[in-house]
Amino acid sequence: MSTPLPATPPALALHRITKRFGDKLANDDISLRLGEGEVLGLLGENGAGKTTLINILFGHYVADAGHVEVFGRRLAAGSPRAAIAAGIGLVHQHFTLAANLTVLDNVMAGTQSLLRPVSSRRQARETLRALGRQFGLAVEPDAKVARLSVGERQRVEILKSLYRGARILVLDEPTAVLTPIESARLFEALGRMAAGGLSVVLISHKLDEVLRVSDRVAILRAGRIVADRAAAGLDRAALAELMVGRRVSRPQRQPLPAGEPVLRLEAVGTRAARGAPGLQGADLVVPARQIVALVGVAGNGQRAVIDLACGLAAPRAGRLEINGRAVRRARAAGLHAAGVARIPEDRHEEGVVGALRLWENAILEDLHDRRFVRWGWLRLRAARAQAARLIADFDIRGGGPEQRTGLLSGGNMQKLIIGRGLDADPRLIVACQPTRGLDEGAVADTHGRLLQARARGAGVLLVTEDLDEALGLADRIVVIQGGRLSAPLEGPDYDLRRIALMMLGEADHAH
């Protein structure tokens, strides 16, 4: 017996959406509904089709078949303007704010003529403040975005959509760069939004968060909806199994004796750069066979530590040692050849060249390696074989060695970078947000590989904003705030709340 249709149309209805890219079927006959005031968690492995589906919803792509309805009205295909006018707001994982402008200017951008009167700005400012009070997203309208915390920038992104009249809000990995305390504040705001009738689609790989805030969970696998269930009664293990089609468990860290330091900073100072503070008398030791997690809110000096460890910068003051040797000038190529591997934070800007093929990116940081370059000549067969091996070993989906790297999903791009970095059996691994954007299966695999590298004798500097990741992997945790490093904190009984407050500068941070 068929289920009767609801008396009123849902806020959002996707009808049999299908989308192909060449031979790849990204979305396969997807139908999905979202009720008014409902929070829907949308989950799936990397490359499962989530991003394609959201791009169709927001008009960036046109479906090959099927259509979208918003509050019972068919949405014009391929038009972001139509999506916004229909009440759909999209908050990307990577913020799209102009740092040199005020909050108000960012929110108003594109909504009015540049020749707007003063009274219009005054009204917009009051509207923005009212929205902030209503949903617990208060941000000073006249503050420069460059001076806001990451959590405050997240609020501005959401306020941009609400200001434009969004009734359906799509959040893509909204807590990826937030501390636990900031995440809790965001979830409180989402609760207020849903209670006020706003419908929310939450895309996240943090399964505990999805279960905490979602009414329903829809799961994509290989482009198809494989589950659409009420969140009540589900647990993290069940969600992970539905996503990947098998039971998933994260590896456990076993105690190992620390070896000789592979990275040492002694009273290191650096200049401020890129709007972030420089290091101030920083001391840090990463021994072999250990994982040291550097945790902090983005923009507190992590970049300076990363650049030093990867040979992209030299200290202005103090002493830097890598593999027991003093480093006095930047020399990235030399350090890489000496066994320093990096997993950069920004996979698009620093990790790969999107226009290059997979095989080219697979050896991009190994051009000193005689396996791939000899007497100045590129060994194509060896390079392609290396790419094919990484694709198989790291389950990189989306194409073979000749595929353009920019066509991979973000998660599969990340797998390529991780595979390239860990393949050479490095002595020091600088892993920056290594699992950001990865599905639960890929997270478990990446954690396992970092622990295996540790067991083989590597030292790992894990730079992460995910405290669960730090707690699960690290032998010790160092907090960075305002360019200052805390004394190392050692488990097994970490005080999670104190660490979170230290990250926000709201607890003692003395070295």
3-class DSSP state of 289: coil
Token digits for 463?
A: 């730079």
User: For residue 198, what are the CA distances in angstroms to 36, 151, 154, 262?
Assistant: 6, 21, 18, 51
**Distance in angstroms (rounded) separating the CA atoms of residues 483 and 481:** 5
In contact, 19 and 57? CB cutoff 8 Å = no
Superfamily of domain 12-97+145-243: P-loop containing nucleotide triphosphate hydrolases (3.40.50.300)
- Residue 89 has a pLDDT of 92
| CATH code given to domain 253-339+427-511 | 3.40.50.300
- pLDDT for residue 3: 53
- Domain segments of the chain as ranges: 12-97+145-243, 253-339+427-511, 354-425
Mean pLDDT to the nearest integer, 310-334: 86
What is the spatial distance between Cα 68 and Cα 33, in angstroms, rounded to a whole number? 10
In this prediction, what percent of the chain has a pLDDT beyond 70? 95
Considering only residues 402 and 174, tell me which one the structure prediction assigns the higher pLDDT.
402
φ/ψ of 395, rounded to 5, equals 55, 50
SS (H, E, C) 379-409: CHHHHHHHHHHHHHHCCCCCCCCCCEHHHCC
Query: What's the whole-model pTM score?
Result: 0.73
How large is the average pLDDT for residues 122-135? 89
- Strand ranges for 81-160 from DSSP E: 88-91
State which amino acid sits at residue 363.
I
Are β-strands 377-378 and 325-326 bridged in parallel, bridged antiparallel, or unpaired? unpaired
Q: What mean pLDDT, rounded, does the chain reach?
A: 87
Per the model's pLDDT, the better-predicted residue between 285 and 241 turns out to be 285
Is the pLDDT at 1 greater than 50? The verdict is no
Kind of pairing, strands 291-295 and 476-481? parallel
Q: Which residue bears the tokens 């093929």?
A: 357
**pLDDT tens, 6-30?**
568 899 999 999 999 888 899 999 9
pLDDT digits (tens, 9 = 90+) for 36-71: 999 999 998 877 889 899 999 999 999 999 999 999
pLDDT score recorded for residue 388: 94
Q: Which residues pair with 168 in a beta bridge?
A: 88, 199
Q: Which of 73-77, 342-346, 419-423 ranks highest by mean pLDDT?
A: 73-77
Average pLDDT over residues 240-261: 88
- Give the pairing of strands 24-34 and 39-44: unpaired
Instruction: Please tell me the distance from the alpha carbon of residue 208 to that of residue 202, in angstroms, as a whole number.
Output: 13
Mean pLDDT of 219-239: 91
Distance CA 197, CA 195 (A): 5
HSE, side-chain direction, 13 A CA sphere, residue 390:
29
3-state secondary structure of 211: helix
Q: Is the pLDDT of residue 311 over 70?
A: yes
* Separation in Å, CA 174 to CA 203, 206, 420: 8, 10, 28
In a 13 Å sphere around the CA of 367, the CA atoms on its Cβ side amount to 9
Burial of 469 by CB count in 10 Å (0-12 exposed, 13-18 middle, 19+ buried)? buried
Q: Which among 240, 237, 205, 256 has a CA at the least distance from the CA of 451?
A: 256
Query: Would you state the pLDDT for residue 95?
Result: 77
Which of residues 116 and 452 earns the better pLDDT score? Answer: 452
Beta bridge partners of 464: 295
**Res 488: pLDDT:** 93
Helix, strand, coil share of the chain (percent; to 5): 35, 25, 40
Identical fold at 12-97+145-243 and 253-339+427-511? yes
Which pair of structure tokens corresponds to residue 247? Answer: 């039971």
56: left (phi over 0), alpha (psi -120 to 50) or beta: alpha
